[in-house]
Structure 1
Amino acid sequence: MIDRRAVLGGVGAMAAMSGLPGAAFAARLRKPPRLRLGDTVGLVAPASALTLPDELDRARYWIQAMGLVPKLGTHVTEQDGYLAGSDAARAADLNAMFADPEVRAIFAVRGGWGGARVLELLDWSAIRAHPKLLLGYSDTTALHLAIAARGGFPTIHGPNAASRWEKASWESLWRLAFTGEMPTLGGEAMEQEVGRPGRTITSGIARGRLLGGNLTILSTLMGTPWLPDFSGAVLFLEDVNEAEYRIDRMLQQLKLAGVLDGLAGAIFGQCTRCTGDEGDTVGFTLDQIIDHHLKPLGIPAFTGANIGHITNQLCLPSGVQVELNADARTLRVLEPLVD
């Protein structure tokens, strides 16, 4: 859990942590500004409605504990069916936050479903003109991928504002977004700390642009103009509440679309509650299904990373160059995420 006193008192110590070289890649992307203590950040609900009574209060609490000032989107508390207001209203909040000079970054309060519905309603010229960090995961994957394709700047795949911000989540956010470091994320020590062992699928080291997110959302964007080019990328995936055969089906969709064939490396994080009814898998475990699709590629790959619908999930620098070490099960960031 975030200790705000540690945040406010530990700036110097955290900033002193050494980064790793990767300046050769820095010119390839426009970079959003780094976060500073006291910055105003926008809270938006680009997908499902906020239905839990304390959801917005939790989001405010975590943002304030980070030393940031929350600014609510105009429509963040609205509801239209299972969505957080109409598509136009949710898009308007995103457009307003990107255009607002007071807002330094934008956090999705929660995921769910609905982000893909607003992509055609966003002001992409304004978004490109005002690169800002977007933070969130799950359904926010639609926005991360669209920004990678259309916005030209990196984002952060990590907890939503109302998620529980535990140690690994906060520390990775601090190093990526506040200090602009190039940390090494994951590895055996973290696996032991959180109690989630990883597994190397294919040994080796790969470098490429980090892209991905929720497998279900990525697959819904297949064949649309809202996906970036995955050629040479390091792909990361996670999911929740999907039976094994559905994971198989979605990975096969990526294969048939050519996404898997051009990758430099791949990581499958956590698939939470991904067990179907008896008989659904015809004897295939999730690990077997992942191996069916990733092993034949012959690229460095591992599974079990602290990514997904879990506590202590890592913040990942989506859209920047990274180095994947499949044997150590780590990601080394090769360029700063922020200016």
Structure 2
Amino acid sequence: MDVLPTQTLPTPIPIPTTLVQSDRCNRRPSRPSGSNPGRKNKKSKNHSHSFNATKDLGRWKPADDLALITGVQQTNDLRMVHRGTKFSCRFTLQEIQQRWYALLYDSAVSRVAVQAMRNLHPELIATIQARTLYSKAEEDLLGTIKSTSQPTLEVFQELLEANAHTFYPARTAKALHSHWQLMKQYHLLPDQTVQSLPRGEHVLSFSDAEDMINDTELMEPKDELVDTELATADRKNKKEIKVLENELGRWQISVGRSTKDHTVDVDLGLEGPAWKVSRRQGTIRLRNNGDFFLSSEGKRPIFVDSRPILAGNKMKLNNNSVIEIAGLRFTFLINQELISVIRQEAVKLNLNP
């Protein structure tokens, strides 16, 4: 496994000789026993190293190790690898540094990682190597192609063959072309310059540009036919609202049996057993919130959805409620559109329900 140049790696910290000598002088002779504690400590250390290596390998996939190694070889910068390499999961910069140092200095971790990378499929290895970061030397060679030109794949193939020792072995002409287009898009080519923003009082702000817009140019031409239809519909709605306002306080109907000196809105004497129906059997009232209530005022009870209403009591009526009076059954239907208008007008007039 290749490693970084020696100048980029941290030098190991030397152990002072005085500390070792003093430790030897103060060390007491161990008691003879059946077991060797030094051997146990050495065995436990080896076990901990292998455990950490296995645990570390569980999160760091072999593909991640290969991407880390190739990225560092190309850029010699762990920060650049952290920003530009896509791993199997998200790693922090500190985790990448720890993994890189473990691959360099921990023999147990390095041995397990190398063996796992050797078992990778060749196609996966080729994919990882094709996505490795570009080095500074590679981008300098790509910068020799002017941004104003329209290079073809043959141009990049010639550049790749002429500088095979500089480009990564997995580079292709198509990959170089794609990376050159990205550099051109973000103005990273040497012959490209980024224009700075103008400075001074003459800079046009968004509010100034908005004030310069002529509102008359944005308005659509008027359609007289549409305006006439809208005005007619508005007058019709206002007329209906006025009628509702006049009738809002007296929306109630009486149910019973009409006689010569007494009339009701709903005469049940024309249907069924008239002698069982009281002259004023009940009253249906509409509240301002759009709810209907039926109050019983006769001698015989009124049944609403099979529930009796005795005299002096009332019950709310719902849409499709079944009302039964003296063996006569009726279905109560509500005009939902009209009720919604009534509720809106009640809110506008601040009427109590």
TM range (shorter): under 0.3
Which has the bigger relative contact order, CA under 8 A and spacing at least 6? 1
Report the TM-score when normalising by structure 2. 0.18
Q: Which one has a bigger Cα radius of gyration?
A: 2
Report the TM-score when normalising by structure 1. 0.19
Identify, as 1 or 2, the structure richer in strand. 1
